[in-house]
Structure 1
């Protein structure tokens, strides 16, 4: 047998294991509300190749590929346990078991590591929480995809309704078509049907009512059987407490804004300050995509090195706020053709840092250039640190943060030598550290942070909604703080 034959045989063996993992992962998710992860990446509803690629990804961070033959026994061990709702990371289990010197079997170690999710310790399965989307544009449709994807057993978040202004004949058909097909993010994973008579979209069995209204005051959500719901405002039309309070109609309990909030509206970046949300807070903001991209790395750098001052320059994909061709726009420069020009504009992300990360006292300035790409942006974060360091030290630290810390769902890390923006379409992280572009000179550091300003941000929004709804389940083994 040749070396190539050996390699192919090995590949087929790993494919066979991945195939056997899929029904186990699905059953745990549907029946026990257990989400199986691999280094913070969900394996639920993933293909054979996707599972294998996720294992291979670990090589970029940990220095070596994680073998599926190593993680599969831990998954099998989970099936023998009385698990409650939780997230369980096979990558962390395998890594922790390797480092353990007590000689425990995989089954013994797994039972100990996830004890907080078993037996008397397990969380009871909660009632599903209704969610309403107000607006159905770029972020609204991606949030809808994520809500449908995460419906799982039906005991989590349930997308019940979408509120929009009627756009004309076949409005619901066209909106469903935009949910089904996306020029950037591809086809919807599943089936979508439309019932025009009842104004309902059915997506993977989720019945979603389309409500037509010109203003929040026109809707009584209880008339549609919706109660205690979280409303996600994707329009950005109202940004202060007074305006957003108009959404607090019958059936709505909380309002989450997918844009920077003004005044006393809390700006939340999941992973950084979501734990500060007061239980009785009914209105909050998820800040901007750029704020979500820069605040987690800023926190990480400030925690380790101290940050004395900083500047962020964002090279941002164009958005619907700009014009396709030159035309009037109330803002300077944004009236010029978006697909033809680089457009200098302002960003509020730097000033928003103080709201999400008040312990950072350093002045942070910012500016932005819109460029002719439809998605994925990069933030260039230039920092003056509190002590001198080296490039290798900073990269090793950020690599570890992306793998082991409480920010691992926010910060990703890539060493790919020829990475470009399109490589990060669909990233679920708030930002990705580009190791190859990082520069450090004494107490000066420049970080290049890629971010999918549509999908990565939508994932952050979902995390905030999960947190305030009470369906954000604990992760095992527990990540380092």
Structure 2
């Protein structure tokens, strides 16, 4: 048998194992609200090839490929347990088991590692929490996709309505079409139908009412059977407490803004300060995509090395706020054609750091350049550290943070030598550290942080909504050895 024959046989074996994993993962998700992860990447509703690629990706950050032959026994062990709602990371299970020297079987080790989600310790499944989207633009439609995807068992979050201004004939058909197909993020994964008579979009069985209103105060959500809902404002039109309070109508319990909040509105970066949200807080902001990209790695660097000062330069994809061709714009430079120019502009991300990291004493400055790409940006974080270090130490530290720390859902890591911006379209992390571009000289470190400013940010928004709704389930194993 040739090497090629060996490789192909091995592939077919792994393909068969991955295929047998799919119904186990689906059943855990639907029946028990258990989301199976691999190094923070969900395996729910993934294809055979996608499962295999996710396992192979581990070689970039862990140094060696993780095989389905290693993770399948842990998945089988999970199906035999009395599990409650949780997120369980097969990659972490495999890594911690390998480091454990007690001689336990896979089944024994798995039962111990996820004990907090079994028997008397398990969380009871919660009733679905209603969610309303106010606005249906780039972020709104991606958040809608995520909410529909996560509806899963029918528990957790349920997208009940979208509020938009009327757009004339066939408005709902056109909005459904924009949800169905996206030039950057591809086809919607599932089926979408439209009932124009009832003004309803049905996506993967989720009936979503389209409400037409020109002002938040014109809507009574209880008329649509909506109760205690979380409203996500994607318009950015209102950013202070007074303006956002207009959304607190009958049927709405909390308001989440997908833009930086002003005044005393809490700016939340999930993974960093989401645990500071007060239970009775009704209005909060998810800050900006760039703030979400830089704050987690900034916190990680400050925790380990101390940060004395820093500067962030964002090279940002163009947005709807800019013009397709040169035309009037109230801001300087942004009136010039977005697809044809690099445009120097301002960013509030640096000043927003203080709201998310109040204990950080370092002064962080920032600036931004908009460039002719439609999605994925990069933040260049230049830091003066409190102690000297080496490129190898920082590289290994950030890789480990991405694998095992509480920030592993926010920070990803890549060592791909040929990585470019389009490779990160669809990333669910707040930012991805480019290990190959890292620069360290004594007490100076320069981090290159890729981020999908649309999808990655939308994932952070949904995580905040899950947290405030009480359906953000714990991850097991909690820590790695």
Q: Which residue of 2 aligns with 1:424?
A: 424
Q: SS at the partner of 1:442?
A: strand
Q: SS at the partner of 1:309?
A: strand
The correspondence of residues 185-204 of structure 1 with structure 2, limited to 5 A, is 185-204=185-204
Distance 1:78 1:113 in 2: 10
The correspondence of residues 88-99 of structure 1 with structure 2, limited to 5 A, is 88-99=88-99
Q: Which residue of 1 aligns with 2:405?
A: 405
Q: Does 1:378 align with 2:378?
A: yes
The correspondence of residues 119-268 of structure 1 with structure 2, limited to 5 A, is 119-268=119-268
Distance 1:449 1:8 in 2: 36
Q: Residues 334-373 of structure 1: CA distance to partner in whole angstroms, max 9, x if unpaired?
A: 0000000000000000000000001111000000000000
Distance 1:480 1:306 in 2: 24
TM-score (norm 1): 1.00
Distance 2:474 2:480 in 1: 13
| 2:133–2:163 contact (8 Å) kept in structure 1 | yes
CA-CA distance at 1:67 after TM superposition: 1.0
The correspondence of residues 280-319 of structure 1 with structure 2, limited to 5 A, is 280-319=280-319
Q: How many residues align?
A: 481
Runs of 4+ in structure 1 deviating by more than 4 angstroms, as ranges, are none
| 2:92–2:480 contact (8 Å) kept in structure 1 | no
Q: Residues 106-141 of structure 1: CA distance to partner in whole angstroms, max 9, x if unpaired?
A: 111111111110001100000000000000000000
Q: Which residue of 1 aligns with 2:55?
A: 55
Q: SS at the partner of 1:152?
A: coil
| 2:126–2:156 contact (8 Å) kept in structure 1 | yes
Q: Residues 174-231 of structure 1: CA distance to partner in whole angstroms, max 9, x if unpaired?
A: 0000000000000000000000000000000000000000000000000000000000
| 2:96–2:480 contact (8 Å) kept in structure 1 | no
Q: SS at the partner of 1:31?
A: helix
Distance 2:316 2:93 in 1: 37
Distance 1:326 1:351 in 2: 30
Q: Residues 257-280 of structure 1: CA distance to partner in whole angstroms, max 9, x if unpaired?
A: 000000000000000000000000
Distance 2:281 2:221 in 1: 20
Distance 2:98 2:340 in 1: 53
Distance 1:174 1:254 in 2: 29
Q: SS at the partner of 2:130?
A: strand
Distance 2:305 2:100 in 1: 30
Q: Does 1:365 align with 2:361?
A: no
Q: Which residue of 2 aligns with 1:101?
A: 101
Q: SS at the partner of 1:46?
A: coil
Q: Which residue of 2 aligns with 1:37?
A: 37
Q: Residues 426-460 of structure 1: CA distance to partner in whole angstroms, max 9, x if unpaired?
A: 00000000011110000001000000000000000
Q: Does 1:339 align with 2:339?
A: yes
The correspondence of residues 266-277 of structure 1 with structure 2, limited to 5 A, is 266-277=266-277
Q: Which residue of 1 aligns with 2:14?
A: 14
Q: SS at the partner of 1:27?
A: helix
Q: Which residue of 2 aligns with 1:350?
A: 350
Q: SS at the partner of 2:339?
A: coil
Distance 2:262 2:427 in 1: 28
In the alignment, structure 2 segments of 5+ residues that lack a partner are none
In the alignment, structure 1 segments of 5+ residues that lack a partner are none
| 1:406–1:480 contact (8 Å) kept in structure 2 | no
Q: Does 1:477 align with 2:474?
A: no
Distance 1:409 1:122 in 2: 22
| 2:95–2:480 contact (8 Å) kept in structure 1 | no
Distance 2:413 2:166 in 1: 43
CA-CA distance at 1:480 after TM superposition: 5.7
Q: SS at the partner of 1:418?
A: coil
| 1:37–1:43 contact (8 Å) kept in structure 2 | yes
| 1:85–1:125 contact (8 Å) kept in structure 2 | yes
Q: Residues 280-308 of structure 1: CA distance to partner in whole angstroms, max 9, x if unpaired?
A: 00000000000000000000000000000
Q: SS at the partner of 1:339?
A: helix
Distance 1:289 1:129 in 2: 25
Distance 2:437 2:95 in 1: 28
Considering only aligned residues, what root-mean-square deviation do their CA atoms show, in Å?
A: 0.7
Q: Residues 17-60 of structure 1: CA distance to partner in whole angstroms, max 9, x if unpaired?
A: 00000000000000000000111110000000000011011111
| 2:148–2:203 contact (8 Å) kept in structure 1 | yes
Distance 1:104 1:365 in 2: 51
Q: SS at the partner of 1:322?
A: coil
Distance 2:400 2:106 in 1: 24
| 2:328–2:335 contact (8 Å) kept in structure 1 | yes
Q: Residues 141-168 of structure 1: CA distance to partner in whole angstroms, max 9, x if unpaired?
A: 0000000000010111000000000011
CA-CA distance at 1:479 after TM superposition: 2.9
Q: SS at the partner of 2:395?
A: helix
Distance 1:108 1:420 in 2: 43
Distance 1:313 1:475 in 2: 33
Q: Which residue of 2 aligns with 1:451?
A: 451
